[in-house]
Structure 1
Amino acid sequence: MENAAVAVVDEDQSALSRQVRAAILKPFFKEPVLIGANEIDRVMDTGRFVFVIEIPPKFEQDAISGQHPTIQIDVDATAMSQAGNGASYLQNIILQEVSTALPGTTQALPIAVVMRAKFNPNLKSAWFTAVMQVINNITMLAVILSGAALIREREHGTIEHLLVMPVTPIEIMLAKIWANGLVIVVAAILSLLVVVEYILAVPVQGSLALFILATVTYQFSVTALGILIATVSTSMAQFGLIVMPILIVMNLLSGSTTPLESMPTWLQNVMQVSPSTHFVALSQAILYRGAGLSIIWPQLLALLAIGAAFFALAALRFRKALLGAQ
């Protein structure tokens, strides 16, 4: 794990609490950010921080006097690959700094460090893996089916039939997008409700209607991408060669497998043009944290903007292809 985001609620403001904060260093963690106690729930719900360390009042005084104070580490357990290891690292850092600062204490452990996992209390990897598999399959099916439908018509010669119909290239594209997208959205919802929630017993916290809205928006983006790739491919074989590396990058670097925070900054910025990055973030926020529209609207707007860009490029390429066929 690298560059995990950490916030600190320091209600003691003592030399010892500052020493603990200063010991949280890169590359495992980002520089800690001080927040107020009333901000904990909000920053955890938005996914801004993976860890929040709560240092109580009179922490240093109680540690010196042998009162055995407690530091609490709140963990966003939706970040499965970071939660367990990161919490252990933080616990060791805190205990080491306290032991170094208070060498004269008679207790082996002058303080207690407790961990509270939010959104996945038992740290079950199945909760994370099940939802991410649904998202990855949505991506794969949407790109492949939409692009393959267009190439199949071109290879079978049925694209000429569309030229004599009173429809525009954009209307043809929209038909391709929604014909495949509707089936995939229905399959995704059934997978979420039947497989993830019922069979695997993964609790879904947020609004199903909001997740459906996000899925439909995502479908628009990735099916437009599939059609765009199809317009630059001359055959199904070439389409497959182009699509496979794109899908691998979208799935592996979207945050569904490897946390974005663990990637180099330049790569994080590059992946912002991928719709899967934003869909993974808002899906985790909705399904795990119960986030509402007020929290996930930036990702939703990003999906719309990326989808509009892909659709515009695909429309230009598709119109050119139709004119060439004439």
Structure 2
Amino acid sequence: MSTSQAADPTERAKPKALTKRSGSDRLAKLRLHLGNIYRLVIKELRSFRSDPIMLLLVAYSFTIAIHAAATGASTEATNLSIGIVDEDHSDLSRGITDGLTPPTFRRVIQLAPTEIDPAMNAQRVLFVIEIPTQFESDILSGKQPTVQIDIDATAAAQAFNGMTYIQNVVIGYVTDFVTRREGMAAAPAKAVTKVKFNPNLKSSWFTSVMQIISNLTMITVMLTGAALIREREQGTVEHLLVMPVVPIEIMLAKILANGIVIVASTALSLLFVVQWWLQVPITGSILLFLAGSCFYVISVAALGIALGTIASTMAQFGLLSIPVLLVMMLLSGSTTPLESMPVWLKYVMLVISPTPHFVIFAQDVIYRGADASIVWPEIVAMAAIGSVFFAIALYRFRRVIFSG
């Protein structure tokens, strides 16, 4: 016969009540944190709205600066000044002269041999073609006469591209002339070049999007760092210390507020400046590009806050951010390919910086029309590096602001 008594129903109900109460407490705390973050975001947006210099800087960086960089820093060969020294005065030499046409070249300037150096020193011409005497007769007799091309390589990109165009013109006209005069058959094979993603090799198509990435990086670091420095200089950060907020709420509010401004500016710049003003076709999904931009902005904003905790004034922050931004942008693959870097440096940048991953992501989405199944490794890499940056920034923020 059992002597044990039935358990008290109130005792059995206690664990369920405690679980329900703890769940509701966690939900209430989450709502409190989200409410604090929301109010701090509104505060940051109002602070940004009241700063006309920052408003003007963001507006300029995503409009006029993009257009100026895309159209003013052209690397393709257009409107090149060229002179020719024609000592042969034959049909072939006149044909070569007539083949140097706009928009690649300006009107050809006829020069005497003694005028070559003065014309190049005075920057009247970038290229000079020297056609020797008896050029046509030497070609017909089977000899291989030499055509000399003098190049002003001060602008290296235009010099290389222009030299390629001139060589193609000369070789093309000579081949066509010999074929027609000798009754020779056409070449047994013909090379056909097909250029994908940028058929006319217009540098503005590449430069415009890469300039958006550079300006996005620079403005994000400046906005987040300046927001923290401004509060430290004005003493308003002390007001936050006595409020019922925690460091991560303040950090998230600054990142989210500035991220909203930057991502919105990027979207408007991509639609109205790049696609409409510059007439650059966008092959991929703009929404996917903006989604990846959110991960990148969070990473760079965390870096800006970390730099803001190191510097105590705006002047110090500016001097500190310049070398960091230069290294990030110059070694990101937006100006020169990653493949042209030393192998060790390439992998170092891919490990410590989110910018190369964002450049690869942007080129794949905007130019090649890649979808999420292709670019997800770059998004994961940006998120991983951003998590490290965020942890470092939060540690510095707690130590400098809340423990200082």
Same fold (TM over 0.5): yes
Task: Select the residue among 332, 339, 353 that pairs with 1:254.
Answer: 332
Match of 2:320 in 1: 242
Which amino acid in the other structure matches residue 148 of structure 1?
A: A
Q: Does 1:292 align with 2:361?
A: no
The 2-side partners of 1:220 and 1:303 are apart by 9
Distance in 2, matches of 1:173 and 1:324, equals 15
Structure-1 separation of matches of 2:402 and 2:267:
39
Within 2, Cα distance between the matches of 1:161 and 1:281? 42
Q: What is residue 218 of structure 2 aligned with on the other side?
A: 140
TM-score by length of 1: 0.66
Aligned residues: 225
Q: Does the Cα contact within 8 Å between 2:255 and 2:298 map onto a contact in 1? A: yes
| Alpha-carbon distance in 2 for matches of 1:165, 1:107 | 88
Q: 1:197 aligns with which of 262, 275, 294?
A: 275
Match of 1:47 in 2: none
Give the one of 256, 259, 275 matched to 1:181.
259
Task: Give the deviation of 1:107 after TM superposition.
Answer: 7.2
Alpha-carbon offset, residue 110 of structure 1: 4.2
**Closer, same or farther in 2 for the Cα pair 1:110/1:146, shift >3 Å?**
same
Query: Quick check: 1:312 aligned with 2:391?
Result: yes
* Matching residue of 1:275: 354
How many angstroms does 1:108 deviate by? 8.4
SS at 1:112's partner residue? coil
Q: Answer with 1 or 2: which has the greater Rg.
A: 2
Q: Which residue of 2 aligns with 1:219?
A: 297
Query: Partner residue of 1:263?
Result: 341
Match of 1:111 among 186, 189, 193: 189
Cα separation, partners in 2 of 1:109 and 1:151, compared to 1, 3 Å: same
Query: Of 274, 299, 322, which aligns to 2:401?
Result: 322
Q: How far does residue 230 in structure 1 lie from its aligned partner after superposition?
A: 0.9
Counterparts of 2:249 and 2:255, CA distance in 1: 10
What percentage of aligned pairs have identical amino acids? Answer: 59
In structure 2, stretches of 5+ residues that fail to align are: 1-156, 169-183
Alignment of 1:144-183 (within 5 A): 144-183=222-261
Q: TM-score, normalised by structure 2?
A: 0.54
1:239-279 deviations in Å (ceiling 9; x for gaps)? 11110111111111111101111111011012112111111
8 Å CA contact 2:241–2:402 kept in 1: the answer is: no
107, 123, 127: which is aligned to 2:205? 127
Following the alignment from structure 1 to structure 2, what is the Cα–Cα distance between the partners of residues 109 and 125?
A: 33
Counterpart-to-counterpart distance in 1, 2:275 and 2:261: 20
List alignment gaps of at least 5 residues for structure 1.
1-80, 93-105
| Aligned-residue RMSD, C-alpha | 1.9
| Matched AA of 1:250 | M
Corresponding position of 2:134: none
Q: Secondary structure at the match of 2:266?
A: helix
Contact 2:299 2:389 (C-alpha < 8 Å) held by counterparts:
yes
Partners in 1 of 2:227 and 2:321 — Cα distance? 14
The 5 Å alignment of 1:22-61 reads none
1: CA distance, partners of 2:382 / 2:358: 8
* Deviations 1:26-69, CA, capped at 9 Å, x for gaps: xxxxxxxxxxxxxxxxxxxxxxxxxxxxxxxxxxxxxxxxxxxx
Distance 1:218 1:107 in 2: 58
Shift of 1:209: 1.1
Instruction: Tell me the CA shift for residue 112 of structure 1.
Output: 2.4
Could you tell me whether the CA contact under 8 Å between 2:220 and 2:300 is conserved in 1?
yes
Whole-angstrom CA distance in 1 between matches of 2:230 and 2:187: 69
The one-letter amino acid of 2:272's match is V
2:247·2:402 contact (CA, 8 Å) conserved in 1?
no
State how far apart, in whole Å, the 2-side matches of 1:108 and 1:255 are: 43
